[in-house]
Amino acid sequence: MNLARFIYASLSLLPVVAGAVVPEFQEGFRTIVERYCLECHDEKKQKGGVDLSVVTNGETALDRYHLLRKVAEQVRSGEMPPEDEQALKPEDKQTLLHWIAGTFDTSKSPHPGPPLARQLTRAEYNATLRDLLRINFDAASQAGIPEENVVGGYSNRAGGLVLEPVLMEKFFTAADLALDYLFGDKAAAGPLKTLLVVRPDDSTQPDSALRKVLSVFLPRAFRRPVADEEVNAFARLGVSALTNGDAFEEAVRKAIKPVLVSPHFLLRLESTASATPGTVARVSNAELAVRLSYFLWATMPDEELFIAANNGTLSEPEGFERQVRRMLAHQKAEALNRYFLERWLQLPSIQKALPSQNAFPSYTRSLRDAMERETRMFCEHLRKEDRSILEFIEADYTFVNAELSKHYRIIPPSGKDFAKVNLRPEDHRGGLLGMGSILTMTSHTDRTKPTARGKWILEVLLGTPPPPPPPNAGTFAPKSKDKIEPKSFREKLAQHASNASCVGCHRRVDPLGFALEDFDAVGTWRADAGGQTVDNAGTLPGIGDFKGVEGLRRILQQKQPVIIRNIAAQTLSYALGRDLSYYDEPALDEIVTALAQNEHRFSSLILGVAKSYPFQNRKAE
Amino acid sequence: MKTPFPSTSEVPVSRRSFLRGAGVLAALPFLETVAPSVVRAGSRVPLKPPVRFGIYTVTGGTVSESWVPQELGNLGKLPSILRTLEPHKEDLVILSNLSQSGQGDGRINAHEHCAYVHLSCADTVGKLNGKPMASQSVDERAAEIVGAQSLIPAVRMGYSGGETSFFFDRQGRSLGVERNPRMAFERMFKGRQLVAPNWSRRLAGGSPEAQPLGSKAYDAQVVDLLLDDARRLQKQLGRSDQGKLNEYLESVFSIEQRVRRLHERIAIEAVDLKDPGPSNPHAPSNLPTDNAAQDQMVRAVSRNPAIHGDYLRVMTDLMVLAFQTDTTRVCSLGLGTDEALFPGVVTVGYEHHAHTLEHHGNAARVEDADPVAREGCRQIHAWYSQFFTDAVAKMRAIDEGGSSLLDNTVLLYTSYMADGGHGTKNYPALLAGGAGGKLKGGRHIAYQKETPFANLYVEVLDLLGDRSGEFGNSKTSKKAAYEGRLPGLV
């Protein structure tokens, strides 16, 4: 579970009393919480992992944004206090929600969040090196640069990347290997020619040719304009090589190697030299271009983006939008799917799913890959065709090949290969909830796991992950004489979840998964569950009864604003490389508004994030 | 193919003093802790080959009734999981009731919780921005004590990572593990000869001075350039960028350090080569020959037990080789994965998935567990033990000139969970080896229930020469016992 992906349910949905003064901490929060909440949510009991006594004044509240956000959401929806406890008086509810909204209101003093040092991820490094040298060479694999050690969430989290010594060694190795390839492999003759814009001849001395090569190369490598003295610093190494008798190419190589291990290359540094600490300013055009290209492409800007940054068109609204749309349509934007959408959906987990061969002989490697491909193509379709992000929840099409359509028992595509197919209501598919990938990766080896499916919905779609189970919760309770032997898995789970320390979360989580019980552990629509009738009914506190995947989709329809805001928040969080906080709320409001005005199209999501205040601005420290 | 780091370089001391004076390096404990020399003629001469510290930790917790001997004191017939160690039991001390008490911050699952406290024994572990956070792990601490004397302060290899992140630096940041055997081999041995140290000659003071590194060498110029540039850059950056740049500088310095040590070591090994120590180090026989073969092996670990076994064998051999050649004195292997399948290893029932077996086969009480799944877990752990036994046997067979490598090592065999149900009480723990004659084997010592695991690390660190007498929560744990020590162990 990853708290980084927290709920961003809409604070703007809260009843804000126009012109009313935000109440003080004591009357706006403490008194109400004491009366209704602390009995369960104090330091001692911490029911559901929630301790509200940590909020001791308006200041400490700011550090507890995620917690209070959840409080606001659950109080607003009526989930809290629970039915069997004293109900909140309407005026107390209003006051509490008003206090929370007011405490986190930054509309009068916008804040782009902390400026964070960004380090290239493994994938970004590899793609950047490839684009910079124009070679088709997987330096990261060759040098053994490891995947980021990030559990869940996005690999580009600024706080999660450490430039540790072993990694630095590998960057040195990778630089050597890439240059070996560029200067030594026949396949790289073209790229080498492009790099060496000038060669020494009768009219050009070797050292001035070297400087010329570097003056073209360095701005691309450092992704910004470069001063003459910087060019000279790197040129000195090449000149010294020339003096020692090295050939021109070898001298260029020696001048370029340090570029590839320089902090300007490995890090995404943004200069704040001239800014007064505490002030907020728009980032430079060059910096904005870099932010954009790593957000959309996970690599360095291309020629056109560099030009737009240099000639200033990037700072004009039309010019900016033109670039974003161009980049989004570009093939390189697949990176956005791969490193953002697919990780948001936790799609890589499908590779770890292990349905047992005994229970599911039809689950083969090719079926698994087909499931993954379906989700991937669905996401790609959303981007390329600029569809509505609501199709994640409900769509009348999907992508299958012959094998997957057979598995789903739906009308197959005309050929054997993957194609878009239309779905009928009786197929029960369409959107993420009917996808084999999602259903399989949230299952056990031999049965479904309603809890895992419920957790996936809460965490991924709604952005409200339940807290992790307590350390001793791993197993089902032991058999005992005073308990009736459960007849079905559902009863077994119900017994387990009746444990006082478990029930609070399980009753929020499990019912969502129950609704998906018609799909077995590999996502096949089933008539019965091990000889027993499928029980696909669920009840959620504050929401009521629902049945089956169709019922679940209706519940999610009601939750649409939460889902949309969550998607906006995930996207913004990925773009910024950090967790969001209260100061990002105004930006989210704007992104969500723009989405609503543009039929929730994918491009309006991306444009909204790219235009947002925290994406465009930086605070000087 | 170039060396994986600059082949020669030296940053003049004056530059470093300047940088330090400018406050840039104030946050670099690295430079304070790493003494800049190897054993040289006439300098502190130890009387024996050095003591090495190895960590051999496998996933999944264990099955304690088949791990912990019934009897205390002298070891009788070993329990079934440890049965393959029977010929080596005089080299083993089994310790029971060691436990962890560190708390999670509510943001981590039970596997993460167990993993983060495993080698750090932190009072609190958790996540920051999606990133594991704990306190310094015992291998890093050990490297601060003995690391300066070997080529690489600490080597971490294996399959751990992600949810099973065990290793943390002084700032509590999670550290990477080398998963690829060939990469691990190249990092340790590139540019060197595989030669057994002639300890008696080295200890008698016959080591040569390395040729001074030429300051005009290309790679020295590269490092100079990077440092100059980074220094200029500091002035233009905000606080967080400066922090990142310090990370960068620290890493560049450590590379520079590595290069210097390698240079010195090559000179020493050239002399050893004429009159090497008695053993004959060689590259692991099943070291993958290229990247493709390596990827194939690593990818198949969780699906194919035969290949998983090959992987454990090659990683084990690399650890032994690292100690044998004095490449490092602190080496950790984080092996196994809870995701692995074990058809053929598990011969009961139809379930072969380690994680599922762990969940089904463990319960608060043994009698509540699914007996078939528990037997499956037992078989998996007996299987892991074979590979550990291999390591012990190989180290016993390596003669360092009158004592074996095993005599000069303290090798911990354990798991990151006590049992497959994310248990934190009564971990499997045994020490193999003589720690330079300080550790007597053939014993089982049971401490009082919930004795902090940290106490064991305090003892191990003490064996390596640390006199601080404290590690992790050895003194701060709610269950602190024996004044943070393990009486009777040493």
pLDDT in tens, A164-187: 889 999 999 999 999 999 999 999
Residue B136, pLDDT > 90, answer: yes
What is the reported pLDDT for A8? Answer: 36
Q: Give domain status of residue A567, yes or no.
A: no
Please tell me whether residues A82 and A153 are part of one structural domain. Answer: no
Q: Domain boundary at A558, A591, A616, which?
A: A558
Cα first-last separation, chain A? 32
Position A101 scores a pLDDT of 87
Please list the alpha-helical segments (H only) found in B102-238. Answer: 110-118, 138-146, 181-189, 199-204, 218-234
Indicate the residue of A159, A172, A177 with minimum beta-carbon distance to B6: A172
C-alpha A330, offset from chain centre: 20
Q: Where are the alpha helices (DSSP H) in B362-426?
A: 371-397
The span from the CA of A489 to the CA of A449, in Å, is 10
DSSP B457-472: HHHHHHHTT--S---T
Greater confidence (B43 vs A310) lies with: A310
User: Between A and B, how many residue pairs show a Cβ–Cβ distance under 8 A?
Assistant: 218
Residue predicted with more confidence, A18 or A273: A273
State the smallest CA–CA distance between residue A144 and chain B in angstroms. Answer: 6
A497 touches chain B (CB under 8 A): no
Best B248, B290, B304, B416 residue to mutate vs chain A (most A CBs within 10 Å): B248
Nearest residue of A to residue B421, measured between CA atoms: A474
A479 to chain B: which residues are within 8 Å by CB?
Answer: 368
Tell which phi-psi region holds residue A173, choosing left (phi > 0), alpha (psi between -120 and 50) or beta. alpha
Of A292 and B224, the structure prediction assigns the larger pLDDT to: A292
Q: Domain limits at A78?
A: 23-103
The Cα of A621 is separated from the nearest Cα of chain B by a number of Å equal to 5
Q: For residue B236, list chain A residues with Cβ-Cβ distance below 8 A.
A: 271-273
B161 to chain A: closest CA residue: A149
- Cα B207 to its chain centre, rounded Å, is 28
Q: Which of A31-35, A333-337, B2-6 has the highest mean pLDDT?
A: A333-337
Q: Which of A234, A364, A475, A485 to mutate to test the interface with B (most CBs of B within 10 A)?
A: A475
Amino acid at A431: G
Alpha-carbon span B305 to B303, nearest angstrom: 7
Q: Which of A69-78, A464-473, B232-241, B328-337 has the lowest mean pLDDT?
A: A464-473
B252 with A176: Cβ contact below 8 A: no
Q: How far is A234 from chain B (nearest CA, A)?
A: 8
Q: What is the pLDDT of residues B257-271, one digit of tens each?
A: 888 888 889 999 999
Distance, in angstroms, between A425 CA and closest chain B CA? 36
- For residue B53, give the 3-state DSSP assignment: strand
Cα–Cα distances (Å) from A160 to A140, A353, A579, B130, B341, in that order, read 19, 26, 11, 7, 30
Identify the DSSP state of B154.
-
- pLDDT at position A47, please? 82
Does B221 contact A165 at a Cβ distance shorter than 8 Å? no
CB-closest option in A3, A264, A356 to B127: A3
Residues of A in contact with B104 (CB under 8 A): 468, 471
B170-179, B440-449, B451-460, B461-470: lowest mean pLDDT where? B170-179
Across the range B418-431, mean pLDDT stands at: 92
Q: Which residues of B touch A270 (CB under 8 A)?
A: 241
Residue of A nearest to B369 (CA): A478
Half-sphere exposure of B489 (CA within 13 A, CB side): 27
pLDDT tens-digit series, residues A402-432? 999 999 999 999 988 999 999 999 999 999 9
Q: Under a CB-based contact definition with an 8 Å cutoff, are residues B60 and B417 in contact? A: yes
A172 lies in some domain: yes
Residue A566 pLDDT greater than 80, yes or no: yes
* Greater pLDDT, A276 or A183: A183
Q: Are residues A122 and A86 in the same domain?
A: no
**Which residue of A lies nearest to B367 if distances are taken between CA atoms?**
A478
Lowest mean pLDDT among A349-363, A458-472, A592-606, B127-141: A458-472
**CB–CB of B2 and A473 under 8 A?**
no
Instruction: Look at residue A454 and give its three-state secondary structure.
Output: helix
Q: What is the pLDDT of residue A483?
A: 57
Tell me: do A63 and A201 sit in the same domain: no
Distance CA A459, CA A441 (A): 14
Are A164 and A198 in the same domain? yes
Cβ atoms of B377 and B75 closer than 8 Å: no
**Residue B255's pLDDT is what?**
85
Question: Does residue B251 belong to the interface with chain A, where contact is any CB pair within 8 Å?
Answer: yes
Q: Which of B131, B257, B258, B295 to mutate to test the interface with A (most CBs of A within 10 A)?
A: B131
Same domain, A535 and A428: yes
Nearest to B250 by CA among B86, B443, B13, B20: B20
Structural domain contains residue A195: yes
- pLDDT (average), residues A476-502: 68
Phi, psi (degrees; rounded to nearest 5) at A356: -70, 145
How much is the mean pLDDT over chain A? 89
**Where does a domain end: A509, A530, A558?**
A558
Q: How many CB atoms lie within 10 A of CB B133?
A: 23
Average pLDDT over residues A132-158: 86
State whether B129 and A578 contact (CB < 8 Å). Answer: yes
Is residue B416 within 8 A of residue B56, CB to CB? The reply is no
Long-range contacts of B342-348 (CB under 8 A, 24+ apart): B342/B305, B342/B376, B342/B379, B342/B380, B342/B383, B343/B305, B344/B305, B344/B306, B345/B305, B345/B379, B345/B380, B345/B383, B346/B376, B346/B379, B346/B380, B347/B379, B348/B372, B348/B375, B348/B376, B348/B379
Do A138 and A88 lie in a common domain? no
Please tell me the distance in Å from B136's CA to the nearest CA on chain A: 14
A358 and A260 both lie in a single domain:
no
Question: Which residues on A lie below 8 Å from B173 (Cβ)?
Answer: 162, 164
Determine the average pLDDT of the residues in A137-146: 93
Chain A hits for B100, Cβ within 8 Å: none
Q: What is the pLDDT of residue A472?
A: 59
Among chain B residues, the shortest Cα distance to A181 is held by B1
Q: Report the candidate in B147, B144, B104 with the shortest Cα–Cα distance to residue B128.
A: B104
What backbone phi and psi angles, to 5 degrees, belong to A253?
A: -60, -40
Residue B176, chain A, CB below 8 Å: the answer is yes
Q: CA–CA separation, A433 vs B287, rounded Å?
A: 44
A 458-477 near B (Cβ less than 8 A): 467-469, 471-475
Taking 70 as the threshold, does the pLDDT of residue B31 lie above it? no
Burial of A42 (0-12, 13-18, 19+ CB in 10 A): middle
Do A376 and A466 sit in the same domain of this protein?
yes
Residue A140 in this model has a pLDDT that exceeds 90: yes
Q: Is residue A294 part of a domain?
A: no
Q: Is A43 in contact with A32 (CB distance < 8 Å)? A: no
Contacts B248 to A, Cβ<8 Å: 163, 168, 263, 266-267
B128 CA: distance to closest CA in chain A (Å) = 8
Residues of A in contact with B240 (CB under 8 A): 114-117, 621
B173 forms bridges with which residues in the sheet? B133
How confident is the model over B320-368, as pLDDT tens digits?
999 999 999 999 999 999 989 999 999 998 888 898 899 888 866 777 7
Q: What pLDDT is recorded for position B13?
A: 36
Residue ranges of chain B assigned to CATH 3.40.720: 52-197+287-484
Report A:244-283 residues touching B (Cβ under 8 A).
254, 257-258, 261-264, 266-267, 269-273
Of the residues A103, A135, A150, the one at which a domain ends: A103
- Is A620 touching B (CB cutoff 8 A)? yes
* A contacts of B187 (beta carbons < 8 Å): 166, 169
DSSP A118-148: EE--HHHHHHHHHHHHT----HHHHHTPPPP
Distance from CA of B396 to the nearest CA of A (A): 31
The answer to whether the beta carbons of residues A295 and A268 sit under 8 Å apart is: no
**What was the ipTM of the complex prediction?**
0.85
Is B245 in the A-facing interface, judged by CB distances under 8 Å? yes
Most confident listed range (A600-609, B17-26, B101-110): A600-609
**Alpha-carbon separation of residue B138 from A229, A387, B455, B470 (angstroms):** 46, 52, 11, 11
Contact B434, B407 (CB under 8 A): yes
Chain A contact for B183 (CB, 8 A cutoff): yes
Residue B317 has pLDDT above 80, yes or no: yes
A49 contacts B106? CB cut-off 8 A: yes
User: Chain B 343-362, CB below 8 Å of chain A: which residues?
Assistant: 350-353, 356, 359-360, 362
* pLDDT for A48 beyond 80: no
* A501-538: pLDDT as tens digits: 778 788 889 999 999 999 999 999 998 877 788 899 99
Q: What is the pLDDT of residue A82?
A: 87
Check residues A23 and A530 and name the one with the higher pLDDT. Answer: A23
pLDDT score, position A7: 35
| Region of poorest pLDDT, from A117-131, A524-538, B133-147, B432-446 | A524-538
Contact (CB<8Å) A468/B107: yes
Query: Is residue B20 very low, low, confident or very high in pLDDT (cuts 50, 70, 90)?
Result: very low
- A356-365, A448-457, B472-481: the lowest-pLDDT one: A356-365
**Which structure tokens are listed for A248?**
């021109």
Question: Would A83 be classed as within a structural domain?
Answer: yes
pLDDT, tens digit (0-9, with 9 covering 90-100), for B381-399: 999 999 999 999 999 999 9
**CATH fold group of domain B52-197+287-484:** Alkaline Phosphatase, subunit A (3.40.720)
Residue A29 DSSP SS3: helix
Number of domains in chain A: 3
Containing B240, the helix (H) or strand (E) segment is helix B239-274
Over its C-alpha atoms, chain B yields an Rg (Å, rounded) of 23
B34 forms bridges with which residues in the sheet?
none
Q: Which residue of A has its CA nearest to B165?
A: A149
Nearest to B131 among A160, A176, A233 (CB): A160
> Which amino acid is present at B203?
L
Share of chain A above pLDDT 90, in %: 67
The pLDDT value given to residue B23: 31
Pair (A60, A184) in one structural domain: no
Q: Does A166 touch chain B (CB under 8 A)?
A: yes
Same domain, A79 and A165: no
Residue A481: its pLDDT value, please?
53
SS3 A315: helix
Neighbours of B327 (CB within 10 A): 21
Do A375 and A502 share a domain, yes or no? yes
CB contact under 8 A, B5 and A172: yes
A515 and A460 co-located in one domain: yes
